[in-house]
Structure 1
Amino acid sequence: MADIDALAGYDRFKFTHDGRTREVFRKGSGPAVIIMHEIPGLHPQVVDYADRVAAAGMSVYLPSLFGAPGRKVTIPYALGEMFMNICIRREFHVWAGQGSSPIVDWLRALARKAHAECGGPGVGALGMCFTGGFALAMMTEPAVVAPVLSQPSLPLGKKGKASIDSSPAEIACAKRRFEDEDLSLLGLRFKGDDFVPDERFAFLKETFGDRFEDITLAAEDGAPGTGRPPHSVLTIHLRNSGPTKDAEARTVSFFRERLGLA
């Protein structure tokens, strides 16, 4: 069941693009940051992170892409969403060679809307886990100027280790924009996380060079929680102090810098 209190302080609206409608939750004021939740859905710890971004002077937009908004994380809930819902939906591409997911086009349209509503130099975009690479693919939308990939887990499988779920054209666009507009990309993960192999971050570093800021945390830095080794940098395995809290602070400062607040 959904936890109504988790999103009680948020306005909600339906956003439709290209015939697809989803619910979006919004809070705060200032330039916009779109936060895309991890599996199994828009759970309370994702909302907690969004609360802190909003408190730092930004408008957060939380699209509900799958799962029940506000529902707490359990292993059965996560497995059910992964294998009975997400992997069979045509909106999501999970394997190597498929490029970005079709849902990214809807997210780009949401970024345009958020920028029009909130102003500023552009929009921040943060993806987590299953949605991690979406923030990079969104760079073909000119409004997106601050992409953050937290534990980007796609594509799945051995063939996709040294890649990210973005098409060659999307990667080329991001690379060009990073140079032309003096932008950059932030990536976070735990060392030893099988869902975010070393090869993936090596690929990002090779592709984007110094424009890619790599924040790789030691496994022992993560808080105990669902899964071993730790996976969810900004939510489930976030500690109240130490390297994970520093990593969270860096994402907030990154958004503030790129969105003209620093």
Structure 2
Amino acid sequence: MTMHDVDGDPLEDFEHRRFAAEGTEKLVHVAGSGPAVVVMPEMPGISPDVLRFARWVRDAGFTVYVPSLFGVDGAYPRADEGTAVMKRACVSAEFRAFAGGGTSPVVTWLRALARLAHDECGGPGVGAVGMCFTGNFALTMTLEPSVVAPVLSQPSLPLDDPAGLEMTPEDAEAVRERFARDDLRALGLRFAGDRWCTGQRFAAYARLLGERFDGRVLDGDVANPEPPPFFRDVVGTPHSVVTAHLVDEEGHPTVEARDAIIAYLTERLVPVAR
């Protein structure tokens, strides 16, 4: 993946590292201190809004690892460029964008990244925040034992099955068993009226995990009415809870959703002094 464009976010407050695992090497942007949280980008890439969220997590006392999975790092999401990125991702061997494809192979690399992050940062485990195209990856990453705090923000895959889980039946059963064995919980967020992540998907997670899935739904009317062009023209509905459609005002429901994510990560990852 390429670094930022001239009018985007230069990521100057991040360390830029290459990480190779499972036969794949990718760029990862790292910042902060404390327990590790892997913040995966939404489509069409690591936008300034994704970086804003990552910095909020960093400033709350975590080390954030932001892997470059698609798009131009730091670029503002434009409609034509974002559409091209999405089309390339949909046919990439790394992703399973459509029903029947099973678990996306890129998750194997992401699990290795989580292992590295845990080795480097210590603590009870690692958090994983997935958004949109990567939303479900946070769940399948829990097949790596170090991942103990998965956050699924508007998970959108598979694109052609609103009730799909984007994982093989074997992985789904393994995830269910891991959650029960290690007393895990998953936090999910979506807007009502989101055509990319509907109530059917949250219902599927609830069937898989029962009360271990905490799915929260925000009123679509509270979404930022002026998101970047890709979200306005291509996404077309309230979608990105803590990035493009967040309204950065104290007490706003999207800011409260952001704070709920940070509180959940803190609860799961920060040891309580006794």
Measured against the shorter chain, the TM-score band is over 0.9
Q: How does 1:110-149 map to 2 (within 5 A)?
A: 110-149=113-152
* Residue-by-residue CA offset, 1:175-222 (whole Å, 9 max, x unaligned): 222222121001111111111121111111122111010111111011
Counterparts of 1:67 and 1:220, CA distance in 2: 29
Q: Where does residue 238 of structure 1 map in the other structure?
A: 246
Confirm or deny that 1:106 pairs with 2:116. no
Q: Where does residue 193 of structure 1 map in the other structure?
A: 194
Counterparts of 1:19 and 1:34, CA distance in 2: 20
Counterparts of 2:194 and 2:9, CA distance in 1: 32
Q: Where does residue 210 of structure 1 map in the other structure?
A: 211
Of 3-12 and 42-51, the range deviating more from structure 2: 3-12
Q: Return the offset for 1:106.
A: 0.4
Query: Tell me, which stretches of 5 or more residues in structure 2 are unaligned?
Result: none
Counterparts of 1:237 and 1:254, CA distance in 2: 21
Q: Return the offset for 1:5.
A: 4.3
* Residue-by-residue CA offset, 1:54-91 (whole Å, 9 max, x unaligned): 000000000000111111111112111011x2112111
Q: In the comparison of the two structures, how many residue pairs are matched?
A: 259
Q: For residue 20 of structure 1, what is the amino acid of its counterpart?
A: T
Percent identity of paired positions between Structure 1 and Structure 2: 45
Q: Where does residue 53 of structure 2 map in the other structure?
A: 49
Give TM-score, length-normalised by structure 2: 0.91
Counterparts of 2:271 and 2:237, CA distance in 1: 35
Counterparts of 1:103 and 1:20, CA distance in 2: 9
Q: How does 1:176-187 map to 2 (within 5 A)?
A: 176-187=177-188
Q: Where does residue 65 of structure 1 map in the other structure?
A: 69
Q: Which runs of 4+ in 1 moved over 3 A?
A: 3-6
Q: For residue 169 of structure 1, what is the amino acid of its counterpart?
A: E
Contact 1:137 1:170 in 2 (8 A): yes
Counterparts of 2:47 and 2:89, CA distance in 1: 16
* Residue-by-residue CA offset, 1:95-114 (whole Å, 9 max, x unaligned): 11211111100000000000
Confirm or deny that 1:223 pairs with 2:224. yes
Counterparts of 2:240 and 2:47, CA distance in 1: 12
3-state DSSP class of the match of 2:151?
Answer: strand
Q: Return the offset for 1:261.
A: 4.7
Q: For residue 71 of structure 2, what is the amino acid of its counterpart?
A: G
Q: Return the offset for 1:127.
A: 0.7
Could you say if the C-alpha distance between residues 72 and 171 of structure 1 is closer, same or farther in structure 2, counting changes exceeding 3 Å? same
Counterparts of 1:12 and 1:75, CA distance in 2: 27
Counterparts of 1:201 and 1:18, CA distance in 2: 31
Counterparts of 1:136 and 1:5, CA distance in 2: 28
CA RMSD of aligned residues (A): 1.3
Contact 1:34 1:123 in 2 (8 A): yes
Counterparts of 2:78 and 2:102, CA distance in 1: 30
Counterparts of 1:57 and 1:192, CA distance in 2: 33
Q: Where does residue 264 of structure 2 map in the other structure?
A: 254
Contact 1:139 1:170 in 2 (8 A): no
* Residue-by-residue CA offset, 1:133-153 (whole Å, 9 max, x unaligned): 011111110010000111100
Contact 1:18 1:106 in 2 (8 A): yes
